[in-house]
Structure 1
Amino acid sequence: MAAPDETLAEFFPKYNPPIRAHKHTCVGLGMETMKRLRVLENDFPGITKSMMLVSCDENIQDLVDYATAFPGPQGFLIETEKDHVMLCIHVKISGRPGVFLSDLGYHVSRVVTVMADRCYPHTGWFTQSDEPHSRKDYNYQFNLQNNNYVEWHERDTRGASVKERLSLIYVAKPYLTAVSVTEKRNLVWDLRSLLARNPKGHLTAGIYFPVKEKDQQFTMFFNGTNGKQRKKLKFESFLELQKIPDELVDDVEQCNEQLRMRDGELLSILKKLATIMSDEEYMKELLDINSTIVKLSAGE
């Protein structure tokens, strides 16, 4: 607990975030997956020791410079965010090295096989999501200059526009500071979401919003009686529950049900979020911490 007169900037460095059941970020999902896969030990001896969390640096600008400057990421520790993790298992198939990757944090609904020689059963390109407004395709492959890294390519197609993103996953050693670095970093991330997906990883309902000091809005989407609904709402509308229009309450309840939450839970969360977002001093502190982390990661 923070002291009554303690600022967020003073509290944040010493806070050790808990991993809460059923409230998982990528860190918690990776740890939970490792725990559940231990039941396979009898059928696949050694799998427990082979599983590990691995770190991922997103939005790599210079692939060759990053992958070849050092064998591992130690030379970049100050200048990277380490903002994502996933589960990795090293394998050999007829003597050929590769890895299995499970990334539930990005809702990848399959275990991806990455072979060093890029031959069968190498997964290659696959469609991660195909929505009316956007199709995302992923590809994972070992970096040719440094096989300690797996490249993660993302291609986002929106009509005639195609955006590409590159991330690097360090698979040579387990990532030991997932909670103290990645989980903690994500506490002040400036994009928040609460989502439900089907077994294929497709979005079905939820809310998401950028964290901003002004014009604070969130998007809520769900399947309504008239098909898919997507509404942009102001947080201030939820500051006083008794003043929320009945129609809006009905929409929140539908979304709540599709998120598989307890009755009234989503409405309660939105009320708490509205109160937090209206605290200008707190919001400024949070965004300042996030900005500082981004600047450090860029070497500024």
Structure 2
Amino acid sequence: LETAETWCQPRGQARGPWIRGVPLPLPVWAHYESPALTVNTVEQYEELAGSVELETQRLLREQRYDTVGNFLRLYRDYAASGESTLDRFYRKYQPLIIHGQHTCVGLGFELLRRLCALDKRFSGMANGLYLVSCEETIGDIAGYVGGPPAADSGEKEHVLVCLKIEIAGRRGVLLLDPGYHVARVITVMADKLYPHTGWFTQSEEPSCKKEYNYSLCTQDTDYVEWHERETRPGALERTQVALIYVARPYLTAIDVTERRNLVYNFRTLLARDTKGHVTAGIYFTVTLDLKNEQTFTIFHQTGNGKKRVKMPFSKFGGSPKVNLENEEATVITECARQLGMTCENLKGFLSALATVMSDTSFIAQLLAINARINTLAEDN
């Protein structure tokens, strides 16, 4: 499954300390602040933002969002380790960033790498760009802010790319979120005046519309509030807020955030277009099922919206292999094409996943770690 080159720790990343009873290492931030990139006029900023947006959109089109590859790798490495408990292995395990198999963490590093090339045109960009941590689903903003995030609570489950900016003396930050398929530059100005982004529609499908808004936290400007509004036909509007700590670079994106992702109970492999629309892929919930009846959803774009088919993993596991129905075979072929994979490669992924999902001991242990991490974050 893996012909990709392996990246080890990108420069400047740290290992977080483990403390007894906590299911993740503690997050670490830099002691320094990244310098702001200064421009004299809004027009200069617009030119910069346009170039950054182009690179971001290119990344979305070229790189899949993938939380299947690291899941399969964890299983394979655990099986090969001889370790008897996943919890012990998980603590010793070193997550890797694999080129072409990116979660939000890998996408963030890849975008940083690409944007540094713009430093020739926009001096100071390479020096100013950094990754920032994000805590999702915050219940009490006032209780969370007021100083750096508490290291021993929360899971720092997401990262974004950040650049502090100053436009003719006006302060703000530029944010990029390739992990959530955001195909635009998010500009957050302290005064909320142009070029402040404000509310925008991130995705709109017949079943669901998602809108995002980012603003500096009024109680503590070291944080950006990220508000999400979700509207479904015939349902109440759902809102939630996340907090992005923009004051200092986040140094444990791999050791904490990528590690956290390994045991998350929802996995996806997705292709996006330059506008951030999710076009094809697979997704599934990791569940313990002694009857081995877990399913995944596979989908792809058609001329008439998305075609989705739910299939059991068992069709791809064990032997003899179950023959696929015509519709299933067609969907897999088209999904693979839109993912930029061969049909054999995608079937190989599904076969490997079928093996993992049928290993009840592994799945039970993984879900137990995930539940402990969720408990850690419930206090926010």
In the superposition, the TM-score normalised over structure 1's length comes to: 0.95
Matched residue, 1:265: 345
1:158 to partner: Cα distance = 0.3
3-state SS of 1:10 partner:
helix
Following superposition, the deviation at residue 227 of structure 1 comes to 5.8
| 1:242 equivalent among 321, 324, 329 | 321
Indicate which of 151, 158, 165 corresponds to 1:77. Answer: 151
Deviation at 1:262, TM superposition (A): 2.5
Q: What SS does the corresponding residue of 1:193 show, helix, strand or coil?
A: strand
Query: Quick one: distance in 2 between partners of 1:296 and 1:182?
Result: 14
Normalised by the size of structure 2, how large is the TM-score?
Answer: 0.75
Task: Give the structure with the higher percent strand.
Answer: 1
**Superposition deviation, residue 246 in structure 1:** 4.4
Matched residue, 2:124: 46
2: CA distance between counterparts of 1:37 and 1:197?
A: 19
Partner of 1:139: 213
Question: Partners of 2:137 and 2:305 in 1: how far apart?
Answer: 35
Q: How many residues align?
A: 296
Which AA in structure 1 matches 2:279? T
**Contact 1:98-1:116 at 8 Å conserved across structures:** yes
Question: Distance between the aligned counterparts of 1:148 and 1:225, measured in 2?
Answer: 45
| Cα shift at 1:280 | 0.6
CA shift at 1:276, angstroms?
Answer: 0.6
Mapped to 1, the partners of 2:313 and 2:249 lie a distance apart of 40
| 1:170 equivalent in alignment to 2:245 | yes
Q: 1:111 is aligned with what amino acid?
A: V
Is 1:29 the counterpart of 2:107? The answer is yes
How far, CA to CA, are the matches of 1:18 and 1:286 in structure 2?
Answer: 18
Measured on the aligned residues, the alpha-carbon RMSD in Å equals 1.6
1:290 corresponding residue in structure 2: 370
Offset of residue 298 of structure 1: 2.6
* Cα distance between partner residues in 2 of 1:299 and 1:140: 23
Which residue matches 2:143?
Answer: 65
| Letter of the structure 2 residue corresponding to residue 87 of structure 1 | V
Counterparts of 1:65 and 1:242, CA distance in 2: 54
The one-character-per-residue Cα deviations of 1:209-245 (angstroms, maximum 9, x if unpaired) are: 1110024111111135876311111111211473222
1:108 equivalent among 178, 182, 185: 182
State the shift of 1:206 in Å: 0.7
Give the unaligned 5+ runs of structure 1.
Answer: none
Secondary structure of residue in 1 paired with 2:151: helix
Paired-residue identity, %: 47
> What amino acid sits opposite 1:206 in the alignment?
G
Q: Distance in 2 between matches of 1:196 and 1:139?
A: 24
Post-superposition CA distance 1:179-235 (Å, at most 9, x none):
000001000001000011111111111111111002411111113587631111111
Counterpart for residue 209 of structure 1: 284
Q: Offset at 1:297?
A: 2.4
Write the letter of the residue equivalent to 1:155: R
Which residue type is aligned with residue 369 of structure 2? I
Q: What letter is aligned with 1:176?
A: L
Distance in 2 separating the partners of 1:104 and 1:5: 35
Judge which range, 210-219 or 276-285, deviates more: 210-219
Q: Are the structure 2 counterparts of residues 225 and 133 from structure 1 closer, same or farther at C-alpha, using a change threshold of 3 Å?
A: closer
Distance 1:254 1:241 in 2: 24
Name whichever of 56-65 and 262-271 sits farther off. Answer: 262-271
Match of 1:53, SS?
strand
Superposition misfits of 4+ residues, deviation over 4 angstroms: 224-227
Q: Secondary structure at the match of 2:351?
A: helix
CA distance in 2, matches of 1:233, 1:87: 36
Determine the structure 1 residue equivalent to 2:306. Answer: 228
Alpha carbons 1:241, 1:271 under 8 Å: kept: no
